[in-house]
C-alpha cells in the first residue's frame, strides 16, 4: 500500500520575482528527491484554486494575499517537504544571478533611455497592477509602448491610449501578445519573410496564425501590429487600430492590409471600415464570428477564417497562391473500439491562443452539443458559458490564456505547467475521447513547447490504452521553418507522442468532428439503390404537367386519372374505408 503524501507551503510576503524565475524555481523544486509535485505562484484566489485542483491542497490556516509569493510542495514525507522548502531562498538567489552577463541594469525607464537614446519602443510585461504606471512613464518620455501585461483596468487603457493619440505615439495593448515592427518580432512572433502585407490585429495568436500562413503561401510581412484584445470595444473605440491602419496606409513597404480581430462594438466597426475604404490599398478583413457583409466592397475583401484571410492577402499581393503544406489530414471517422464502454464520448480542448480557441469553437459548435467554454463571442450562440473554468463538462474547450488563468503566473505559451496538469485531468475522464490543443512557436514563446507537451501526451494516451480506451490527440501547430523552436522537429515530437498534427484550426476541427460523429442508424431497411438508377419509370397522380415533363425527359410514365373516393363525400369515403379493413 502506497504511503500518503504530504503537502507543505511557504509564503514570502510582498516578494516580487520575474515569472520566468518562478517557473524555473518550480521546476527545480519538482526535481528534488522525494518531491512529487510543486507549485510556485503569486497567491491570488485563482492560483490557489488551481493549485488545489491539481492536488496541492493548502492548509486552511495559511495566510497569503495576491502580492505574496506562495511555494507549495507535495512530497513523499515530511523530511522531503522540509528539505524542499529550505532550498527556496538559495534557489531564488542562485537563479537571480544566473544567465548571461548583461552589465549594468537600470531600475527605471528614464535611466535605461540614457543608455539607449535611440530606443523608440518600450516593452512592458510586468504584473498588471503596476503596468499602467510604467507605460505612462514611457509615453511621458515620448516612446511607443508594447504593453503585454494583462489585468490592466480598462479605465487605464482608455487613458493611456488617449495620451498616446494626443502625442502621436502607439500603445499596443494591454494584453498585446504579438507584433512585428520593422522586421523584429515583439512578444510572441514567428520568423517570417519580409514582404508587402501589413496586418493589424486585436488578437495575438490570430496574428501569429495569419502571418505564419502568409509565409507558408510564399507571401511576406511588412508589419504586424497588435492592438490588445479590448481595443475594438466601445470604450477604447479602436484607437490603436485606427492609428495602426493609418501607419500601414502611409507605409511604402505595405501593399495589402489585413485587419483581424473579434467582432468590434458596432460603432467601432463603422469607424474601422470607413477608414479602410479611404485607405486606397486593397484590404482583407476578418472579424472572428461577425457576419460577413458580402465578400467584397470595393477594395475591401471579407474573409471567413484566418486561413482564408491569409490566402486572400497573398493573392492580392502577388496574384498567385501556392498550395500550403499540411502536417495531417482529417482522415476517416474512427469507429468505437471493440469492447470499449458505451456512453458519451467528449472532446476537451486546451488552447494557449484565445483567437485560435474561438475559431475552433466556431467550427465545433455546428457538430457538438452541449459545448462549453470560457470564451465569449457574439458568433458563438451555441456555446454555453462554463460556470467554473476549473471543471469541464460534456464537450469543453478552454482558452488557458484568459485572465482568470494568468494572474500571478506566466502565459501558457511560455509555461506549460498548467496545461500539462489539465491534460492529465481531462484525459482521466473515461468519457473523453478527443484532446484538442494548439502549439504556438515563435519569438517569445517557450523554447521547446512540443518537447514540454509530448511526454504528457504520450503518458495520457498510454494510460487510456491500458484502461481499454482510445484517446485521440489533435494538435494545431502555428509556426514557420525559420522559428527558433525547429518546426519540423516539433511536429516530429508531437507525432511520436501519438498526436495527429495539423497546419490549420479548420483541418483539426474537421478531424475532431469526424472522430466524434456517431454512426448513422437507419430505422428500417435500406432503400435499394435501384430506386435512383436509370431508367426511371413512374406513375403520376395529380398534375398533368408533371406527367408531360416526365414524358419530355424520356421517362416511362403513366398518368392516373384520379378522382376523390365516393365522389368527394367524406362521410361515405370513411365508411367505405372501414368496410375495406374488415
| Domain boundary pick from 44, 61, 96 | 96
Residues 508 and 533 in one domain: no
- What SS3 string covers 472-521? EEEEEEECCCCCCCCHHHHHHHHHHCCEEEECCHHHHHHHHHHHHCCCCC
| Bridge-based pairing state of the strands 144-147 and 171-172 | parallel
Q: What is the DSSP string of 115-127?
A: H-TT--EEEE-S-
Residues 509 and 538 in one domain: no
Residues 284 and 393 in one domain: no
460 is a domain residue: yes
Residues 358 and 429 in one domain: yes
Total tally of structural domains belonging to the chain: 4
CATH number of domain containing 63: 3.30.70
Residues 450 and 382 in one domain: yes
Q: What angle do CA 134, 140, 146 make, to 5 degrees?
A: 50
User: pLDDT (tens digit, 0 to 9) for every residue of the chain, 582 residues total?
Assistant: 455 788 888 888 876 666 677 888 888 898 899 999 998 888 878 788 888 887 888 877 788 887 788 899 999 999 999 999 999 888 887 755 444 444 567 878 888 888 888 888 999 988 788 889 899 999 999 989 899 888 899 999 999 999 999 999 999 999 998 989 988 898 888 999 999 999 999 988 999 999 999 999 999 999 999 999 899 999 999 999 999 999 998 898 999 999 999 888 878 887 888 788 888 899 999 988 777 767 877 788 999 899 999 999 999 998 654 444 556 654 444 444 444 456 789 999 999 999 899 999 988 886 788 899 999 887 787 889 999 999 999 999 999 999 888 877 788 999 999 999 999 999 999 999 999 999 999 998 999 999 999 999 999 999 999 999 999 999 999 999 999 999 999 999 999 999 999 998 988 988 888 888 665 544 567 657 655 666 767 666 666 666 576 677 787 776 766 666 766 667 776 777 777 666
pLDDT at position 542: 65
Residues 366 and 312 in one domain: no
| Domain boundary pick from 75, 96, 117 | 96
Domain extent, residue 573, equals 529-581
Residues 350 and 495 in one domain: yes
Residues 361 and 505 in one domain: yes
CATH number of domain containing 224: 3.40.50.261
145 is a domain residue: no
166 is a domain residue: no
336 is a domain residue: no
Q: Where are the alpha helices (DSSP H) in 116-250?
A: 128-140, 154-167, 204-216, 239-250
CA–CA separation, 531 vs 509, rounded Å?
35
117 is a domain residue: no
Residues 556 and 465 in one domain: no
Q: Omega of the bond prior to 513 within 30 degrees of 0, cis? A: no
30 is a domain residue: yes
Tell me if 19 sits within 8 A of 415, measured CB to CB: yes
Residues 497 and 548 in one domain: no
Identify which of 250, 228, 263 has the alpha carbon closest to the alpha carbon of residue 148. 228
Residues 266 and 231 in one domain: yes
pLDDT at position 561: 67
pLDDT at position 349: 97
327 is a domain residue: no
The dihedrals phi and psi of 121, each to the nearest 5 degrees, come to -125, 145
| Domain boundary pick from 516, 539, 558 | 516
Is 0.75 topped by the overall pTM? no
Residues 536 and 503 in one domain: no
170 is a domain residue: no
Amino acid at each position: 500500500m502506497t504511503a500518503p503524501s504530504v503537502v507543505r507551503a511557504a509564503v514570502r510576503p510582498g516578494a516580487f520575482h520575474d515569472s520566468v524565475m518562478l517557473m524555473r524555481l518550480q521546476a527545480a523544486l519538482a526535481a528534488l528527491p522525494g518531491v512529487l509535485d510543486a507549485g510556485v505562484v503569486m497567491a491570488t484566489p485563482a492560483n490557489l484554486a488551481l493549485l488545489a485542483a491539481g492536488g496541492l491542497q493548502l492548509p486552511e490556516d495559511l495566510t497569503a494575499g495576491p502580492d505574496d509569493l506562495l511555494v507549495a510542495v507535495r512530497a513523499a514525507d515530511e523530511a522531503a517537504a522540509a528539505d524542499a522548502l529550505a532550498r527556496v531562498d538559495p534557489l531564488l538567489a542562485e537563479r537571480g544571478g544566473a544567465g548571461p552577463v548583461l552589465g549594468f541594469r537600470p531600475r527605471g525607464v528614464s535611466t535605461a533611455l540614457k543608455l539607449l537614446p535611440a530606443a523608440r519602443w518600450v516593452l512592458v510585461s510586468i504584473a498588471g497592477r503596476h503596468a499602467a504606471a510604467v507605460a505612462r512613464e514611457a509615453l511621458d518620455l515620448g516612446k511607443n509602448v508594447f504593453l503585454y501585461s494583462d489585468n490592466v483596468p480598462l479605465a487605464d487603457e482608455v487613458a493611456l491610449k488617449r495620451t498616446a493619440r494626443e502625442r502621436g505615439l502607439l500603445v499596443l495593448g494591454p494584453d498585446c501578445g504579438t507584433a512585428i515592427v520593422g522586421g523584429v518580432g515583439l512578444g510572441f512572433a514567428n520568423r517570417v519573410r519580409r514582404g508587402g502585407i501589413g496586418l493589424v490585429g486585436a488578437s495575438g495568436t490570430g496574428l501569429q496564425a495569419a502571418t505564419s500562413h502568409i509565409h507558408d503561401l510564399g507571401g511576406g510581412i511588412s508589419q504586424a501590429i497588435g492592438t490588445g484584445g479590448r481595443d475594438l470595444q466601445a470604450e477604447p473605440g479602436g484607437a490603436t487600430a485606427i492609428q495602426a491602419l493609418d501607419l500601414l496606409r502611409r507605409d511604402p513597404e505595405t501593399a495589402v492590409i489585413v485587419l483581424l480581430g473579434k467582432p468590434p462594438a458596432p460603432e467601432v466597426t463603422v469607424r474601422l471600415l470607413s477608414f479602410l475604404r479611404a485607405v486606397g490599398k486593397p484590404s482583407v478583413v476578418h472579424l472572428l464570428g461577425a457576419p460577413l457583409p458580402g465578400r467584397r466592397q470595393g477594395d475591401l475583401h471579407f474573409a471567413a477564417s484566418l486561413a482564408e484571410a491569409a490566402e486572400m492577402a497573398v493573392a492580392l499581393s502577388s496574384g498567385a497562391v501556392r498550395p500550403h503544406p499540411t502536417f495531417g489530414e482529417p482522415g476517416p471517422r474512427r469507429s468505437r473500439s471493440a469492447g470499449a464502454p458505451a456512453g458519451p464520448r467528449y472532446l476537451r480542448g486546451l488552447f494557449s491562443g484565445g483567437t485560435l480557441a474561438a475559431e475552433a469553437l466556431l467550427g465545433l459548435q455546428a457538430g457538438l452539443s452541449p459545448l462549453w467554454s470560457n470564451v465569449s463571442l457574439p458568433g458563438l450562440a451555441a456555446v454555453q458559458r462554463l460556470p467554473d473554468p476549473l471543471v469541464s463538462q460534456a464537450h469543453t474547450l478552454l482558452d488557458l490564456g484568459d485572465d482568470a488563468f494568468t494572474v500571478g503566473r506566466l502565459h501558457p505559451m511560455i509555461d506549460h505547467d498548467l496545461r500539462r496538469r489539465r491534460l492529465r485531468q481531462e484525459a482521466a475522464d473515461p468519457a473523453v475521447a478527443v484532446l484538442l490543443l494548439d502549439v504556438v512557436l515563435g519569438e517569445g514563446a517557450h523554447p521547446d513547447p512540443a518537447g514540454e507537451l509530448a511526454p504528457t501526451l504520450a503518458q495520457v494516451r498510454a494510460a487510456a490504452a491500458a484502461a481499454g480506451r482510445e484517446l485521440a490527440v489533435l494538435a494545431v501547430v502555428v509556426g514557420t521553418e525559420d522559428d527558433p523552436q525547429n518546426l519540423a522537429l516539433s511536429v516530429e515530437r508531437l507525432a511520436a507522442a501519438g498526436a495527429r498534427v495539423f497546419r490549420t484550426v479548420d483541418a483539426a476541427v474537421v478531424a475532431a468532428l469526424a472522430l466524434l460523429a456517431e454512426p448513422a442508424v437507419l430505422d428500417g431497411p435500406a432503400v435499394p439503390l435501384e430506386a435512383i438508377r436509370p431508367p426511371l419509370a413512374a406513375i403520376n397522380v395529380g398534375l398533368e404537367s408533371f406527367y408531360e415533363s416526365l414524358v419530355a425527359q424520356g421517362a416511362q410514365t403513366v398518368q392516373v386519372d384520379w378522382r376523390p373516393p365516393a365522389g368527394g363525400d367524406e362521410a361515405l369515403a370513411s365508411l367505405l374505408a372501414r368496410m375495406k379493413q374488415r
